[in-house]
Structure 1
């Protein structure tokens, strides 16, 4: 399939209800409103195709950009490619669920994510912390330096309340992911969650809310998820 054929198929799969949901989360035109599950048959047909993924991502259409992440060949992408993709990621569903997810399947993931976390830019920070969540939830513990994760937990404890909005949410999730998926630091992550306490998000909206890593960790423990690792990062 070429880029025009994919775009036609995505348009046919679009639903107005799904489009409204995406728009309410920060997406903007152009988009069709395609449910991620509806993309699977086409993804199975195309498999990995980096040139096509690049063409789709460049359209600026949210559904096409998401599908680009599904069919991308992450190991064919350089740090500069990921920077370019992040530049075009205009809201968190792209930065955290397309770019960060694609990055998480590479050998350069931690290096790139580290630069994003240190950037001070909201969506890069969010994407960097999110990438670590995808990594910790899918890779063996031996692939991480325990001291580095300890330092990252300390960084979250010290900076989460003054971080940009989307970074707060990703950092909160990082605490939860360490607690559940990196067992040797479970206790430290639980203590970090207690010290951080509730985190206020949505202050730019009519009604803000509080998110709690401690509550989410407790719920995961009740579901016997300690040590959880997912088999695949991408759908």
Structure 2
């Protein structure tokens, strides 16, 4: 399928209600407002076509960029390719749910995420921690360096309250994900969760609190979900 045809299909699937929702979350024109599930039939037809994925991402159209992440052949992408995609990630739904998710399927995911966390730019930090969340929720515990993750928890404990909002969000989720999905550091994650307590962010409409990490971990304990791993990262 040519990109022009895909864009026409996406446009036909768009709705003003979904578009408005995306705009409120930080997306900007161009976009059609296509629900993720509605993209799956298109994704099935072009999945793994990296050339098409690159063309779609380069349009700057949010819906096309999301579809690019769904169909990308991540084995064909390099660290430089992901850096380039991050440069085009203008809000968190692209950085955390397109770029970070795709990165999580690569062999160099942790190396790139480590670099982004240290980058200093909000969405890079957000994407870095988000990628770790996707990894921890999918890969076996033995694939991770326990000492390194422990140090990351220490860093979150020390810096979360002074970090930028999207980084706060991703850090908070990182603590929850370790507490739920990485059994070797469950107890430490619980300790850190209690230490950081309630995290406040602003969403443009006012200030509000993130889900309390200690509460979210306890919910997983009560539901017998400790050690949870998802089968796939991308949809």
TM over 0.5: yes
Aligned to 1:167: 167
Q: 1:208 corresponds to which residue?
A: 207
Q: Deviation digits for residues 104-133 of structure 1, max 9, x if unmatched?
A: 000010000000000110000000000000
Q: TM-score, normalised by structure 1?
A: 0.98
Partner of residue 76, structure 1: 76
Q: Deviations over 1:143-189 (max 9, x none)?
A: 10000000000000000001111000000000000000001110000
Partner of residue 19, structure 2: 19
Secondary structure of the 1:209 match is: strand
1:196 maps to 2:196: yes
1:111 aligns with 2:111: yes
Deviation at 1:220, TM superposition (A): 2.0
For residue 170 of structure 1, give the secondary structure of its aligned residue in structure 2: helix
Q: Distance in 1 between matches of 2:61 and 2:224?
A: 39
Deviation at 1:223, TM superposition (A): 2.2
Instruction: State the Cα distance separating 1:218 from its structure 2 match.
Output: 1.7
After TM superposition, give the deviation of residue 61 of structure 1 in Å. 0.1
1:56 Cα deviation after fit: 0.2
3-state SS of the aligned residue for 2:209?
strand
* Residue of structure 1 in register with 2:28 after alignment: 28
Structure 1 unaligned spans of 5+: none
Taking the aligned partners of 1:183 and 1:201, their CA distance within structure 2 comes to 29
Deviation for aligned residue 1:206: 3.9
1:140 matched residue in structure 2: 140
Q: What is the aligned partner in structure 2 of residue 85 from structure 1?
A: 85
Match of 2:230 in 1: 230
- Name the structure 2 match of 1:52: 52
Mean CA deviation greater in 40-49 or 154-163: 40-49
